Amino acid sequence: MARLTGTAWRHASGWEPAEAQAPAAIREVREIAGGRGDLLAEVAGLLIGYYRLTAEEPKARAAAHYCIAADADVDLIPRWIEVGSSRAAAARLIPPAVPGARQVFAWPEAV
């Protein structure tokens, strides 16, 4: 999963899949997945869901595009989008690991 995600992410240039590198990216992602459309769907869905409404969303969608084009099982993607969204929401609740680091969220007031 990590290798598949990293490869798709590395090939994603930003706002949309780069036309020139798409065939090589799709070929590499397909090779790593080894015919596992379920893994491709998981990576695509997690990327889309986790990075939804963030600055990284365009790159995540481009990376997901490579997974989809490499024969992801598209019927499984909506479930993984939900999982990715849930993981992102949970991650926003974790305080920074470095003391004094800038927080991007506000803790609720103590009751």
Total domains, the chain = 1
Q: Which two tokens stand for residue 25?
A: 């990216």
pLDDT of residue 100: 64
Range of the domain at 12: 2-92
Residue 83 within a domain: yes
- DSSP conformational letter for 111: -
How far is residue 55 CA from its own chain's centroid? Answer: 12
Residue 57 within a domain: yes
Q: What is the pLDDT of residues 37-61, one digit of tens each?
A: 999 999 999 999 999 999 999 999 9
Residue 59 within a domain: yes
Residue 102, SS3? Answer: coil
Q: Which two tokens stand for residue 76?
A: 């499984």
Of 91, 64, 90, whose CA–CA distance to 78 is shortest? 64
Residue 6 within a domain: yes
Model confidence, pTM:
0.80
User: pLDDT grade, residue 70 (50/70/90)?
Assistant: very high
pLDDT of residue 94: 83
Mean pLDDT of the chain: 87
- In angstroms, the CA 81 to CA 104 distance is 23
* Whether pLDDT at 109 is above 70: no
